[in-house]
Structure 1
Amino acid sequence: DGESITLPHHTSSADLKPGKHTLTIIAADLAGNETTSVRTFHIKREEPNQPELADQKIGAHKAKLSVRVKDPTKDEMNVSFYRGFRYTARNPGSVKVYQHASLTEPPRGMKENEMPFTLPEMNRISANDGKTVSTENMERFPYHRFEVSVDPSIDETDLAEAVWKGSSLPGRKVTMYIWNYRTSRWQEADSVLAKNKKPFTLKAAVSAADAVKNSKMNVIVQDQIPAKGNYSFVWMSDTQYYAQGHPNIFDKMTEWIKENKEKHNIKYVFHTGDIVDDSMVMKQWKNADHSMRTLDKAGIPYGVLAGNHDVGHKDGTYRTFGDFFGSRRFEKKMHYGGSYKNNRGHYDLLSASGNDFIMIYMGWGITDQEIDWINQVLKRYPDRTAILCFHEYLLVSGNRSPIGETIYQKVVKPNRNVAMVLSGHYHNAMKKTDALDDDGDGKPDRLVHQILTDYQDGPEGGQGYMRIMQFDQAANQVHMFSYSPYTDDINYYDTDLFADKDEFSAEMDLQPKMKKVATDYFECNVYTNELLGHKKHVKSGKTAHWVWDGLQPDSVYYWYTVVKDPYNGKTISPIWMFKTGKTPYHPAPDQFDFKHASSP
């Protein structure tokens, strides 16, 4: 009808965010005629402004607390006064700080062989003044742990907030974890990717029901400084015929890896699918399980994915793969990062000689849903060099398959940390290297090496050849060749006839990235549900007062306010502090409104 759309002044902002919105209406009749109408409207911000501390008149046993409140739409507000707590390094009796370096990030347990901060170190982190305490380690993951002893009155309905201020090195991801007593694990709470050497803040609020037990709360902030040195990865693919009829060869491969773990500094093993030939034959799965358990028993990190033979030719089910190589097999391993649909996909986190990797696997039958999951994981770990593993990606022609091209466009190109893609499926050994311009300046910023390895069409299913990947940090190269412990022979393909088909070097940035965690300041705030008092119908721009009495002399107290308008708009103030006087304070008669005073 040509009329503009007018929304009621207090349309719920829980449904629409404040700001400009566009409503498009399309009307069509049965004859195919169609008309489109577009209307623009605005939603005002409903939440009250952040309350401002107006005044605190403090006596020995009473305190008059005053806050000034405002609302962007001039609504009247209800102001509730609550008790709070704050704990910092200024009070070593409430906050204890420890430093250590663990084998994993985060540590597997809550406490390890830690060293407490000294008194001078505690003094350095007692104020946000640029004075820091740094912990470094050349081989493990250094961290600072903050153990906070909270007031016994704090219960599971309260909210606990940790605030850490410090610094790291450019490009490093520093993470805050809070110990979850329900799951008995460190729970990632906040992280920052440092853009420069300037200080930054990590901050997170969690339920006291999860984070507080026996009046204790634990927080760690962690990063890593690793060691230098060369190391090796091993890559197996398409072991299907070994599982089917040559289990002795399969056993020989994993036994060799175990026996040469120290000699070749083997840090990790890849398997890019077709573990078995027929997913319906249990004997093949048992053969594969027996061979791969050699790596489990030796404590060698490895990852697997399902090829087309592993998921069933007829129904494509992952059921049996999940029974033998599902997430339950890996979930307690230190390198295992997380699972997608019971290990249909997963990622591993590994640090070797100063290089931090994320290995991401996705099994047969990749759709947009799987690609979305891979991208989410890559964005979570932008500082780790990514090696992607699929069963099908590169063709024997050296070109990408259709699904490989999709992965390249949607995953490899957008994610700057992807350096390598490994695949099998097609019987050959090929490589393709693409130089990518990430910043659009016309110059390559990184190389992505895409490699196919599959020896299954050889005698006895490939005679146990597998690819050895040696990381040469001095040369910034990964030297590759194939080796069979079954025949004790290097390179499946004759290098005189096939040049660099099996043996070649790939450029990769392998300079160890220095990392550190440097704490400047830490505090823990607790927002309790202990209501001190309540003021109703406070007009915008006015001040709400409350008298907190029954206090102890010469004591520190904390409090905060919650401001609500009639339309569900809600704002929580910071926590404020005061200290009561040592001697009784006698205010003038009009200084306290005893009519409305209330005890906690």
Structure 2
Amino acid sequence: MFTLFILPDSQSYCDLRLKWTRKYFCVPDQRHCLRQQMQWILDNKDSLNGTLVLHEGDLTQTNFEIEWQLGCEWFQKIENHIPYVLCTGNHDQGFEPHPPEGISQYSNRRDSLIDAYFPPARFRRNPLYDYGGNFRGSSSNYFIFFEADGLRFMVIILEFMPRDEVIEWANGIVSAHSGHRCIVLTHGLLDKKGNRDLHGYNYAIEGNGAQEIWDKLLRKHRNIFLVLCGHSHGEARRTDEGDDGNLVHQVMANYQFWGKGGDGWMRILHFYPEEDRIDVKTYSPVLDRYRHGPSSKFTLPYPMSGSRISVFQGLSG
């Protein structure tokens, strides 16, 4: 058994610039929530055979320096203990306080401070990482490898509403590493009902919507088995067949409007290769509670058993 730790949208925890969480929802400073999540991961990674931490985007509220600084400080807590990856959300790029009428304040432009605080060199120079590469020198789109229980995996991280050229790059990367089991991490894919929808906002950037991401990338590769996303509010999941008959699990979690800005809820994915299953749990280190409803605790079937250099969906690895 090995474990992945999933951190959903955390913008409420580092809403330091405009303090909208406090202004509109009467929620006090919640920066302790992500700090407690990181400490819990450190305290439990060995007993749970923790392999990787994945942040689903919207680390910041307004793509502002003090918010990135705080997020960077939190990730430094686990920096040399367990690998982590993070994707850019709509709040992490191109914030505009006063956009034209009808246009979202978020993702008005592609510019993001992610490379100032999480540059590719930060991952390349860390011996914990098997860093694969990136798109045009940026941490907005990159990929890594990891091995667990004799199985070879890759994680490809995509920007919010990925551009056509990013989709083309990702297709090439996934095809070139067809012997690796592939997880895709991107901020927006599902709405709270499990539909492929980016939640109806009018973003100024041009890029691919959720259905286009599925049609142009996710369905086309038989080694893609899991897509993790946030963005929409609440929990949702769906499973669809790819073009080769493989199952692609798509799982969304975002708790920013639960309790006090999210209450530290996170996802824990336990992989059981010998039993061909992934158990998904939802836990808050802040509240020290698990959620037990069917949208919070469930099992995903996934073939992993056989040879430890095993065969899956017709592929080695």
Is 1:242 the equivalent of 2:13? yes
Instruction: Give the Å deviation of 1:446.
Output: 1.8
**8 Å contact 2:36–2:286 — kept in the other structure?**
yes
Instruction: Give the Å deviation of 1:393.
Output: 0.5
Q: What 5-or-longer segments of structure 2 have no aligned partner?
A: 16-28, 97-107, 199-208, 311-317
TM-score scaled by length of structure 2: 0.82
Residue 363 to residue 513, structure 1, CA distance change in 2 (3 Å): farther
Q: 1:432 aligns with which of 216, 222, 238?
A: 238
Residue 273 of structure 1: aligned partner? 57
Q: CA RMSD in A?
A: 1.7
SS in 2 for 1:288: helix
Residue 70 of structure 2: aligned partner? 287
State how far apart, in whole Å, the 2-side matches of 1:312 and 1:293 are.
25
State how far apart, in whole Å, the 1-side matches of 2:52 and 2:37 are.
14
Residue 268 of structure 2: aligned partner? 468
Is 1:343 the equivalent of 2:139? yes
Residue 423 of structure 1: aligned partner? 229
Q: 1:392 aligns with which of 188, 191, 194?
A: 188
**8 Å contact 1:231–1:470 — kept in the other structure?**
yes
State how far apart, in whole Å, the 2-side matches of 1:325 and 1:368 are.
24
State how far apart, in whole Å, the 2-side matches of 1:332 and 1:306 are.
21
Is 1:362 the equivalent of 2:158? yes
Is 1:375 the equivalent of 2:175? no
Is 1:328 the equivalent of 2:128? no
SS in 1 for 2:304: coil
Instruction: Give the Å deviation of 1:247.
Output: 1.8
Paired amino acid for 1:279: N
Instruction: Give the Å deviation of 1:415.
Output: 0.8
Is 1:509 the equivalent of 2:293? no
**8 Å contact 1:233–1:469 — kept in the other structure?**
yes
Residue 154 of structure 1: aligned partner? none
Instruction: Give the Å deviation of 1:313.
Output: 2.1
Q: 1:312 aligns with which of 90, 94, 98?
A: 94
SS in 1 for 2:42: helix
State how far apart, in whole Å, the 2-side matches of 1:336 and 1:464 are.
29
**8 Å contact 2:275–2:305 — kept in the other structure?**
no
Paired amino acid for 1:446: N
Q: 1:252 aligns with which of 14, 36, 48?
A: 36
**8 Å contact 1:479–1:503 — kept in the other structure?**
yes
SS in 2 for 1:386: strand
Residue 212 of structure 2: aligned partner? 406
Give a deviation string over 1:434-485, Cα, whole Å, max 9, x none.
13451xxxxxx32110111101111221111100000112220000011111
State how far apart, in whole Å, the 2-side matches of 1:452 and 1:319 are.
23
Paired amino acid for 1:304: L
Rg: which structure is higher?
1
Give a deviation string over 1:19-64, Cα, whole Å, max 9, x none.
xxxxxxxxxxxxxxxxxxxxxxxxxxxxxxxxxxxxxxxxxxxxxx
Give a deviation string over 1:169-227, Cα, whole Å, max 9, x none.
xxxxxxxxxxxxxxxxxxxxxxxxxxxxxxxxxxxxxxxxxxxxxxxxxxxxxxxxxxx
Instruction: Give the Å deviation of 1:514.
Output: 4.6
Residue 105 of structure 2: aligned partner? none
Q: Which has the higher strand share?
A: 1
State how far apart, in whole Å, the 2-side matches of 1:490 and 1:389 are.
24
Question: What are the equivalent positions in structure 2 for 1:3-82 lying under 5 Å apart?
Answer: none
Report percent identity of matched pairs. Answer: 26
**8 Å contact 1:355–1:512 — kept in the other structure?**
no
Residue 84 of structure 2: aligned partner? 302
**8 Å contact 1:301–1:335 — kept in the other structure?**
no
Give a deviation string over 1:394-419, Cα, whole Å, max 9, x none.
11121112611111111122111010
TM-score scaled by length of structure 1: 0.44
**8 Å contact 2:161–2:188 — kept in the other structure?**
no
Paired amino acid for 1:413: R
State how far apart, in whole Å, the 1-side matches of 2:233 and 2:307 are.
37
Give a deviation string over 1:311-351, Cα, whole Å, max 9, x none.
12234243422101221221223322112231110101011
**8 Å contact 2:185–2:229 — kept in the other structure?**
yes
SS in 2 for 1:370: helix
Q: Which has the higher contact order (CA 8 A, sep 6+)?
A: 1
Shift >3 Å, 4+ stretches: 512-516
State how far apart, in whole Å, the 2-side matches of 1:325 and 1:241 are.
20
SS in 1 for 2:78: helix
Instruction: Give the Å deviation of 1:362.
Output: 0.7
Q: Which has the higher helix share?
A: 2
SS in 1 for 2:80: helix
Question: What are the equivalent positions in structure 2 for 1:159-178 lying under 5 Å apart?
Answer: none
Q: 2:278 aligns with which of 478, 491, 503?
A: 478
State how far apart, in whole Å, the 1-side matches of 2:130 and 2:56 are.
17
